[in-house]
Structures are given as structure tokens and as C-alpha cells.
Amino acid sequence: MTTPTRRRTLRARLLDFIRGGVSRLTSAWRILADAQNRLLAALASIRPGRAASARIRAAVLAFQQALAAFSRDTGAVIERWVATDLPTAYRDGSLAMLDRADRPHRSWSWTRRHQSTVTTVTAQYYADLMGRLQEAIRRGQAFLRAAQDAARARITQFDAGSFDPDALRQQHPLDTVIYVNDARHPVETWAGAALSWQAVTTANAGAVTTAYEQLGCTRVQVRDGSDCGWTSHQDSDLADGTYRSIDDALAHPTAHAHCIREFLPHFDRPNPLGALA
């Protein structure tokens, strides 16, 4: 029989992937926030004079170089997350399903169906994360233009009030992520929610596909919070304890961010070991 300790270890590994991904992503994002602070400090120290324009150009160049480093490092974090961490989470979810059915891990392999499933899932998440990166770069460029214009106005028009670092930082908060409803969230908060959603969804996709592929199940049983709905937390169709088809489970591996949904095998065939081709 599978021990509880083994199951806890699989869940702990998933949490480790999430923590590691969040830490790497927020560290890379800090390059952008630190560059913003350095640029504002550098521009604030410039006074009208012969060297003012040259000092502005130097400060702008330093920010542009930092923006390129931010793009490179954050892109590398995203690529590692999608190419390595999420497939590992998928495999761990698959093995957890075998544990719940008391089947050996050696019965699992990267079949075509598993490869297709994890590729489909991770491709969407790669696009989502890269979209956030491109949005951050655009916001960084917009901030640079605004800061540069304000600094030039001060030295050419002698308008001391045109350059306000606090106002520029508030108008262009590069240490935040902006949601579709214009709500601003700290990068670490966004990263925690986004990567948790992606990791749990991917692991559950692996579990459900394994129930079908290796265990021959056509349905799975849902383990979830007692008040969690099937398609969203507010859905009146409660999820916990219900039996769902493989297709339905793959369509809704989670219902919301930080969802605790898990799936159990449901053997409704005469031969539960009859894996499908």
C-alpha cells in the first residue's frame, strides 16, 4: 500500500517547484524595479549645466541596459519553468495518481498522449508569462520616456517642478503587475498566484491523463474544498466527492487560483489495468 508519507512528499515537491519558480521570477523582476530607482536617483541629481545632457544620456543608457538584462533573465526563468519545472510537476501528478491506485511507478512513461497533453498545457502558460514580460518591457519603456522628458524639461526650461520622482514612480509602478481590471499587484503576489495555478493545473492534468492512459479509467473522483464549485469557486455545481468524465476533468483541472483540487481514480471497467492505446 502507498504510505501517507510518500503522498506528502509528492505534494511537498510541487510546493517546492512553486516556491522556487516564484523566487526566481521575482528576483529577475527586481532588476527592473532596481533600475527604475537608480534612474530616478540619477536624474534627480542632475542640475542645469553643460554636462546635464550627457549625464541624462548616460542614465538613460544604463536603464536601457538594465531593461535588456531584465528581459533576458526573466525570459530564461520563464523558459526553465515551462520546459523543466512544469513537465516535472506533470510527471509528479501522474505518479501521485498511480500511488492512489496502488500501482507501481514503472507502469508510467511519456506516451504520446502524455506528451501531447503537457505540450498543450505548457504552451498556453508560456504565452501567458511571456505576455506579462512583454507588457513589463513596454511599461518600462513608457516610464523611461516620461522620466527622460521630465529631466530634459528641467534643464532646458528651468522647470524644477517638472521632475517629480515620487509622481513618476506612482504613475509607472514597475514593481507591480497590472491585471485586466487595472488592479495593481506586487510582482511576488502575482507570481505566487500565477505559478501556483499553473503548477497545480499541470499536475492535475497529468493525474487525469494517467487515470485514463495507465489505469483505464473513464471517470475520476474529485477531492476539493467543501464549498468549491466545479468551474469556479462560486459555481453552484459543487465539486468535492463528485465523479467526472476524463474530458470534463481535463477541461477543469482547477477552479481558481490556490485551488486544492485533487483527483482519485474511479475504476468503472472490468479490467482496471487495461491501459488505452
Rounded CA Rg of the chain:
25
Grid cell of 232 as nine digits? 469556479
User: What was the pLDDT predicted at 277?
Assistant: 35
Cell triple for residue 203? 499536475
Classify residue 21 by burial, with Cβ atoms within 10 Å: 0-12, 13-18, 19+. Answer: buried
Please write the tens of the pLDDT for every residue from 68-103: 999 999 999 999 999 999 999 999 999 999 999 999
CA separation for the pair 195, 21 (Å, rounded): 7
Q: Which residue positions in the chain have pLDDT lower than 50?
A: 1-2, 271-277
Q: What is the rounded CA–CA span in Å between residue 91 and residue 205?
A: 10
By the 10 Å C-beta count (0-12 exposed, 13-18 middle, 19+ buried), 55 is classed as middle
Q: How far apart are CA 81 and CA 87, in angstroms?
A: 9
Instruction: Give the per-residue pLDDT at 138.
Output: 97
Residue-range domain boundaries for the chain? 4-197
Q: How far apart are CA 158 and CA 167, in angstroms?
A: 19
Find out whether 133 and 71 touch, Cβ atoms under 8 Å: yes
State the pLDDT at residue 76.
98
Length of the chain: 277
Q: Alpha helices, DSSP H only, in 45-82?
A: 52-80
pLDDT of residue 6: 56
Q: What pLDDT is attached to residue 160?
A: 58
Which residues, including other chains, have CB under 8 Å from residue 256's CB and lie 6 or more apart? 228, 232, 233
Q: What φ, ψ does residue 229 adopt, rounded to 5°? A: -80, 170
As a whole number of angstroms, the distance between CA 248 and CA 259 comes to 17
